[in-house]
């Protein structure tokens, strides 16, 4: 049964960049260190490149971005059509702006990681990275923030549901489950993948949900429902006009993230065990999700075509264009190049991730 589920996941969920955007080589002078030659020596200062063995036998690549002023460590699970080379600029930016250490990794079969991308491999991947943070960097659970973007919300919530002492969780354009991206089903089926809807209520730390209101890949109702089901809600960020792959370009994105990181840091310092809203945050009422109807021809009905996210970003008549962001121009340029895909069967959904 698990193998069948993983097969479904591989068909619908994973699109590793081909060829990978980076390579990994041994550092000059030996010593067992690794480096990514596509990243300049100046930019890679303070960045550790690692190979980690997972419990399923794959060797995955991870990078640890250090900040000497860090008050927490963020473990970032990226989207389904990106790799570490493409994410590097954002990782460095977030580490500096949020004053955190940041650990990012490539799933099995992504970038220079070995193996094949499957649902259960991603669970083993994030576990290996978590163990590395604990053993090599001596990071306590109370200092870890798990961050999951899009399909990365799957391994993020799977791990978070089993760790009661995490500092926080961030869900960025998350999915309720793999099948629910394709069809508005009401119930969870055995063959579904990334059953986040059944795991969110097991998370015992504050959870921030970020979603664009004009996301035409993963509807904003996914994020709203996960926020409603979370036990320790934090003021969510619904970015008006935001799509699936451009939320980092909105000034509100980094502002809200900084506010959240500050809040959970103060919460830890105060020794509080109860998640409450920060004094200056506007109290939100639960957002009602739209009613979903069951589909009788669930497996036989073809997937409806979706319009290109890139075309929507470029058309101000369809969505509200974001203001200029203070995120690095290098990262912005990388995020607007190339076609990516998310949760597709026969049809493709262009998406820059």
Which of 285, 278, 280, 276 lies closest to 238 in space, CA to CA?
A: 285
Is residue 345 in a domain? no
In a domain, 342, yes or no: no
- Cα distance between residue 217 and residue 214, in whole Å: 9
Residue 341 lies in a domain: no
Q: Is 150 considered catalytic here?
A: yes
Residue 268 has pLDDT above 90, yes or no: no
Q: Which domain holds residue 316?
A: 2-278+287-335
Q: Is the predicted pLDDT of residue 352 greater than 70, yes or no?
A: no
* CB 110, CB 89: distance < 8 Å: no
Which tokens belong to 8?
């479904």
Which is it for strands 47-53 and 59-65: parallel, antiparallel or unpaired?
Answer: antiparallel
pLDDT band at 299 (very low <50, low <70, confident <90, very high): very low
What is the pTM for the complete model shown? 0.78
List the catalytic residue out of 89, 108, 150, 221. 150
Judge contact between 225 and 289, C-beta under 8 A.
yes
**Mean pLDDT computed over every residue of the chain:** 81
141 tagged catalytic: no
Two tokens, residue 48: 């550790």
What is the per-residue pLDDT across 221-242, written as a single tens digit (0 to 9) for each? 999 999 999 999 999 999 999 9
**Any idea of the CA torsion for 29, 31, 35, 37, to the nearest 10 degrees?**
20
Asked if the structure places residue 349 within a domain, the reply is no
Instruction: Mark whether 215 is an active-site residue.
Output: yes
**Residue 351: inside a domain:** no
Structural domain count of the chain: 1
Catalytic entry in 106, 143, 215, 235: 215
Q: Is the pLDDT of residue 50 over 60?
A: yes
> What pLDDT digit, counting tens, does each position of 75-99 carry?
999 999 999 999 999 999 999 999 9
Per-residue pLDDT reduced to its tens digit, 128-187: 999 999 999 999 999 999 999 999 999 999 999 999 999 999 999 999 999 899 888 899
340: in domain = no
The answer to whether position 291 is within a domain reads yes
In a domain, 173, yes or no: yes
Q: Are 342 and 79 within 8 A, CB to CB? A: yes
More confident residue, 143 or 342: 143
Annotated catalytic residue within 216, 244, 256, 325: 244
CATH number of the domain to which 29 belongs: 3.40.50.1820
The residues, ordered by sequence, that sit 6+ positions from 113 with a Cβ below 8 Å of its Cβ are 58, 59, 60, 61, 105, 106, 107, 125
Say how far apart CA 303 and CA 272 lie, in whole Å.
46
Radius of gyration of the chain (CA): 19
């Amino acid at each position: 049964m698990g193998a069948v589920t993983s097969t479904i996941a591989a068909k619908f969920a994973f699109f590793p960049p081909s060829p990978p955007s980076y390579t990994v080589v041994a550092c000059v002078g030996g010593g067992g260190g690794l480096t990514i030659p596509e990243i300049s020596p100046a930019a890679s200062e303070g960045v550790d490149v690692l190979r980690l063995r997972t419990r399923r036998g794959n060797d995955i690549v991870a990078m640890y971005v250090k900040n000497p002023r860090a008050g927490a460590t963020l473990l970032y699970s990226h989207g389904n059509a990106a790799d570490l080379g493409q994410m590097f600029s954002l990782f460095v930016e977030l580490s500096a702006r949020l004053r955190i250490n940041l650990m990012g990794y490539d799933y099995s079969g992504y970038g220079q990681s070995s193996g094949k991308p499957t649902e259960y491999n991603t669970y083993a991947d994030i576990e290996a990275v978590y163990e590395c943070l604990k053993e090599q960097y001596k990071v306590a659970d109370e200092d870890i923030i798990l961050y999951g973007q899009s399909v990365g919300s799957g391994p993020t919530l799977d791990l978070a549901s089993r760790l009661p002492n995490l500092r926080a969780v961030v869900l960025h354009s998350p999915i309720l489950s793999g099948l629910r991206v394709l069809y508005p089903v009401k119930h969870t089926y055995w063959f579904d993948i990334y059953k986040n809807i059944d795991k969110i209520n097991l998370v015992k730390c504050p959870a921030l949900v970020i979603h664009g209101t004009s996301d035409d890949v993963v509807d904003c109702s996914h994020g709203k429902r996960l926020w409603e089901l979370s036990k320790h809600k934090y003021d969510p960020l619904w970015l008006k006009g935001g799509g699936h792959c451009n939320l980092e370009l909105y000034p509100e994105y980094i502002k809200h993230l900084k506010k959240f990181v500050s809040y959970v840091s103060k919460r830890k310092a105060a020794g509080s065990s109860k998640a409450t809203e920060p004094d200056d945050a506007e109290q939100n009422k639960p957002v009602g999700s739209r009613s979903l109807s069951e589909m009788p021809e669930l497996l036989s009905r073809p997937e409806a075509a979706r319009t290109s996210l890139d075309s929507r970003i470029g058309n101000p008549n369809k969505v509200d264009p974001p203001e200029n962001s203070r995120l690095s121009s290098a990262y912005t340029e990388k995020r607007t190049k190339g076609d990516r895909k998310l949760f597709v069967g026969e049809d493709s959904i262009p998406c820059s991730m």
